[in-house]
């Protein structure tokens, strides 16, 4: 059994690694939203629908498989992707509305 001092040291190390992963997640998410912003502008220009349920179904199936092999809960992976996609669709609707008002 580690002393409480050793345990605190271990906790600090683990938290440092968690912070590094959170940093990477934020950068990856920012890059994804930059790309979906371009998709939103393209869709607004060519009057394409904000949401594409067929594409979403393929992404969810692919992510669920990936989660399974990475030992991540596939239900969580699906919830996480749906959370992001919902936000993206809102952005796409806002971009289309802004274009309509011009
Ligand atoms: C980005 C797109 O728009 C929407 C958002 C998606 C996403 O965030 O991955 C996927 C499908 C669409 O509902 C797209 O059509 O590719």
Residue 102's pLDDT band (boundaries 50, 70, 90)? confident
Cβ of 51 below 6 Å from ligand 1:
yes
Q: Which of 42, 78, 85, 86 to mutate to test the pocket of ligand 1 (most atoms within 8 A of CB)?
A: 85
Segment 1-47, tens digit of pLDDT: 579 999 999 999 999 999 999 999 999 999 999 999 999 999 999 99
CA 49 to chain centre: 21
Rg (CA), the chain: 19
Bigger pLDDT: 100 or 9?
A: 9
Backbone φ and ψ of 58, nearest 5°:
-65, -45
- Return the structure tokens found at 22: 């959170």
What pLDDT sits at residue 30? 98
What pLDDT sits at residue 90? 98
Share of the chain above pLDDT 70, in %: 99
Alpha carbon distances (Å) from 89 to 8, 21, 33, 38, 55: 43, 26, 11, 13, 13
What is the fold of 4-101?
A: Chorismate Mutase Domain, subunit A (1.20.59)
């Amino acid at each position: 059994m580690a002393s409480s001092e050793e345990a605190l040291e271990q906790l600090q190390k683990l938290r440092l690694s968690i912070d590094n992963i959170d940093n990477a997640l934020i950068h990856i998410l920012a890059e994804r939203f930059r790309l979906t912003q371009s998709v939103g502008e393209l869709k607004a220009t060519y009057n394409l629908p904000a949401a594409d349920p067929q594409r979403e179904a393929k992404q969810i199936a692919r992510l669920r498989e990936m989660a399974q092999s990475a030992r991540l809960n596939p239900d969580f992976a699906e919830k996480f992707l749906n959370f992001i996609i919902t936000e993206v669709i809102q952005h796409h609707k806002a971009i289309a509305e802004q274009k309509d008002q011009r």
